A and B are shown apart, each in its own frame.
Chain A
């Protein structure tokens, strides 16, 4: 429970960034408001998109499943409020591409009427797998940003023992404060959720890693722990260094363990979940409520009123910002996520989705004055700040030259895209942009490879099939020819006669079979035979008597 004794470790590199968090933590978490329309993209998580099970015109209740999970790495989607399904169409989604994706459009009826929720259960008596199922049914994904379905990360697997459950409360990116506010106001829910996770994972110990720039949140959590008298959960204050909130970085800081390059933290007996996910799991298990809202930070000098609000999933950003005071005249750029890892939005007519943690409206004086990149001077500053010990400069050269094989030798896929290298680059080279470009390019090549292998297989199969068909045709022709040749010597009549005779023979054969069908008189014992003979004699006698009698009467 105390945080003074816990040994801390260091990860390489990292940056001390100005926090900019105070501007959004002055007010309590804002209440939910129901917008005029909700846009619910079917893909809000990593994995297979959900599959819509409602259709246009259906009325739905709050918390009703409107799209079911398709495949293992998938979760269902629930209606955030009661209303009518207006349409299921492609709608612009918050994604760096700015592209559209299939979404359910829901028009609220402002009744906000809940569907009947599953009864709360005592999770301690639940089987961990049933517990995971409940968490899946509630549509819960990691709320830290990546959006991986939580139930999978609550499965310790058959052979792995979980030493530590780590709760990520670091929130290291500047501006974002949604987890901070959540911890201040709902510490008990978080602790409850962590206990449920501990049960699902059968984890002995839990560490909550929280950056030391959030003393109020830390205090709130510790208070809740002492009130509930729990000693298996420990709150650990960690130094504020960006990107301490990266999963692998946090694990390193708290346990000293390093996750394998291509592996998962599970491989070293650690599981890491976000603090907001814990609170959502608490709601799902203890109150049966699915994930239909989340806390989102609205911040930056580009808005009138920065703060944190509980927002229904699917709320359009423009309406939400308007509801909370609107933009400031100086607004220049809209970013989803933080300034380091977030991406620019080209429009505000996009919905808040499950993974949206922050909307950053930057004013003119906060945005970068987009200078053109200058040549790399090989200063090595990027290398010093890389938290994964990569060689950003080498990666940059390889990406620049499109050497996609070689770039993987420099462990491109271990890059967490934290943006430290771009931040310190004196030449303002958009380094992370290059890595993202290389990553998606490599994935595209891999997809092409799979497709071309498939095409090769299909083409070869087709050739084989054509060959086989040709052979069969030739064989048939040969047979026909042979038959013709053989038939030439004999007269046609003969063959006809033969056919008729063969048919007759078949008929005779059949008749023979049917005549000798009754076989129940075969294999009789001597006794039975005798009985039959007796009966036979009696019948003959009676027949003879009858004949005699007739003869007698006739003569009379």
Chain B
């Protein structure tokens, strides 16, 4: 009887120590789920989801405080990816957060009009605006995420949205089955008799 109790307590103590050690040794900082969600978000940092950036939104999703359909820039593909990750049903984008845009955009500054107030620089979440007080500002187009957060603060309305033009390196073949699009000529355009 005593032996059994002793064995069990020893085992319990042993496993307890092991588990305690492992918990310390292999401790993971931060929440891995948040990282995974964050990796799926488009990182425009636009705040259309109602959170101040993509990571806060990811944290809110992880805590169950936000739904997965609040990201207009990510659109349908992001919702599907999130639903796959979290094992929940995909649902249509919440119209309260905005609509998914087909065409990606960036902004440009009309440099003739810009007065160099730096307000847009402070608003840009990815530091994609270059300039200094009373100096002309300009957008680093390659870094612009198209979040449009710089537009409301501009006192002279010199920031404009421009669509990103496809060039021959970024052009995509259209889907042959996309409704509303004329079926493109197939590759075997000639019937060889």
Contact = CB atoms under 8 A, between A and B. Distances in A.
Contacts of A437: 172-176
A344 B185 contact: yes
A342 B43 CA distance: 38
A452 interface: yes
A341 B186 CA distance: 10
Given A437-B175, A456-B43, A95 B168 contact: yes
Decide if the interface of chain B is mainly helix, strand, loop or mixed: loop
Interface in B100-125: 125
B26 interface: no
A434 B189 contact: no
Given A366-B191, A433-B184, A459 B125 contact: yes
B45 A455 contact: yes
B127 interface: yes
Contacts, number: 131
Contacts of B184: 430, 433
Contacts of A419: 187-188
Given A97-B168, A101-B168, A462-B125, A422 B188 contact: yes
A96 interface: yes
A96 B44 contact: no
Interface in A427-471: 430, 432-434, 436-437, 439-441, 443-444, 447-448, 451-456, 458-459, 461-462
Contact of B127 (A423, A448, A451, A462): A462
A174 interface: yes
B176 A434 contact: yes
Given A97-B166, A455-B44, A430 B189 contact: no
Interface string A162-187: 00000000000011000000000000
A319 interface: no
Decide if the interface of chain A is mainly helix, strand, loop or mixed: mixed
Contacts of A370: 183, 185
B188 A97 contact: no
B193 interface: yes
Nearest to A448: B42
Nearest to B126: A458
A43 interface: yes
A76 B128 CA distance: 33
Interface string B164-182: 0011111111111100000
- Give me the 4 closest cross-chain CB pairs, A-B, nearest first: A339-B190, A430-B186, A452-B43, A97-B171
5 contacts: A17-B192, A362-B190, A367-B189, A370-B183, A419-B187
